[in-house]
Amino acid sequence: MRNLIISAALVAASLFGMTAQAAEAPAAPYVELTNPVPVAVPGKIEVVELFWYGCPHCYAFEPVINPWVEKLPSDVNFVRIPAMFGGPWDAHGQMFLTLEAMGVEHKVHAAVFEAIQKEHKKLVTPEEMAEFLATQGVDKDKFLATFNSFAIKGKIVQAKELAKKYEISGVPTMIVNGKYRFDVGSAGGAEQALQLADKLVDKERAANKAAAN
């Protein structure tokens, strides 16, 4: 009996030690996708940001990520994809894809964020969107026609499929080269997220060079 008690104590101590070590080991700041997703522009390292206009964390990320995007090297392709989980997520995502298709997204992106986050505009119906966007110089009729077009419906399907393949559960989330997923929280903050993106871009660049040799 005494031997059994001692053995049980040793096992418990061993398990405790393993648990303590596991608790002390830092979690990886990113997840490597089991099934990598093909990039939009072959030959370039892709960085994707999945976002929602209604997300305050995405809004807070804007002044940090925008200057970073402007300084990206020529071998990096940055892509924004709206996360569409239903309701206003879908409405705002469709608005973004419409503006992108019209070639004016970069001109009004900040204004849309401000309207929703600061002015508390809902912008969930095409009419509401068109009225607001008209104040930003976007042609109302052209916006509504594009919003309801077959091409935009196809882009919505594509955006939802990508989000599913990336296995995202929230925003803002970043994907590097279709392989690595992380968010601001897992990275430790906004600046840390971009530093992590830089490291993963460097990793992919090195892998590409090694494969070419």
Confidence at residue 213, expressed as pLDDT on a 0 to 100 scale = 84
What pTM was computed for the model? 0.87
Confidence at residue 212, expressed as pLDDT on a 0 to 100 scale = 87
Comparing CA positions, the residue from 182, 145, 138 lying closest to residue 49 is: 182
**In the block, residue with structure tokens 């296995």:** 167
Distance CA 32, CA 175 (A): 10
Task: Determine the average pLDDT of the residues in 15-23.
Answer: 47
> Is it the case that residue 122 has pLDDT exceeding 90?
yes
pLDDT tens per residue, range 160-174: 999 999 999 999 999
Confirm if 36 and 179 have CB atoms less than 8 A apart: yes
- In the chain, the N- to C-terminal Cα span, in Å, equals 65
> Is it the case that residue 2 has pLDDT exceeding 50?
no
Task: Determine the average pLDDT of the residues in 153-157.
Answer: 98
With vertex at residue 158, the alpha carbon angle to CA 68 and CA 29, rounded to the nearest 5 degrees, is: 45
What is the phi/psi pair of residue 46, to 5°? -100, 135
Return the higher-pLDDT residue of 10 and 145: 145
**Torsion angle, CA of 50/192/167/154, rounded to 10 degrees?**
20
